[in-house]
Amino acid sequence: MINEKMQNAFNDQVAAEFYSSYLYLSMAAYLEDNDLPGMANWMRVQYQEETFHAEKIFDYVIERDGRAEVKAWEAPPKEWKSALDAFEDAYKHEQKVTALINSLMDVALAEKDHASQVFLQWFVNEQVEEEASVKAIVQQLKMLGDSKAGLFQIDRELGQRTFTPPAAAAE
**For 140-166, how does the pLDDT look when each residue is reduced to its tens digit (9 = 90+)?**
999 999 899 999 999 999 999 999 987
List the one residue out of 34, 65, 32 whose CA is nearest residue 47. 32
Give the pLDDT confidence score for residue 166 in this predicted structure. Answer: 79
Place 168 in a pLDDT band, splitting at 50, 70 and 90. low
**Calpha distance 62→66 (Å, rounded):** 5
Q: Tell me which amino acid residue 23 is.
A: L
The string of pLDDT tens digits covering residues 62-78 is: 999 999 999 988 999 99
Q: How far apart are the first and last CA of the chain?
A: 19
Q: Quick one: what percent of the chain has pLDDT higher than 70? A: 98
Q: Tell me which amino acid residue 7 is.
A: Q
Residue-range domains of the chain with CATH? 4-160 (1.20.1260.10)
List the one residue out of 80, 83, 79 whose CA is nearest residue 148. 83
**Calpha distance 120→138 (Å, rounded):** 27
DSSP reduced 3-state for 60: helix
